[in-house]
Amino acid sequence: NTLIYVSCNPATLARDLKLLKNNWQPIEIQPLDLFPWTMHVELVALMSRVDE
């Protein structure tokens, strides 16, 4: 009932969160700077299944 979503593109994450919103709710989204001195940031989203 837990999903961890890792994305390297904020626009793609936003798109996918919209697609998943009926079944999954984001609990926390954490940016990670895994590539210092670049513009790249990884995003890790902790999600929980929505009870129907």
Domain count, the chain: 1
Question: Mind listing the pLDDT tens digit for each residue in 4-47?
Answer: 999 999 999 999 999 999 999 999 999 999 999 999 999 999 99
Is 43 within 8 Å of 13 (Cβ atoms)? yes
Residues 6+ apart with CB under 8 A from 46: 2, 3, 4, 26, 27, 28, 29, 30
Catalytic residue, candidates 6, 8, 14, 27: 8
Tokens matching residue 17 = 């969160």
Q: How confident is the model at residue 51 (pLDDT cuts 50, 70, 90)?
A: confident
Active site residue 49: no
Task: Output the CA torsion 13→11→32→47 (10° steps).
Answer: -20
Top pLDDT among 4 and 52 is at: 4
Range of the domain at 40: 2-49
pLDDT computed for residue 42 by the predictor: 97
pLDDT computed for residue 8 by the predictor: 95
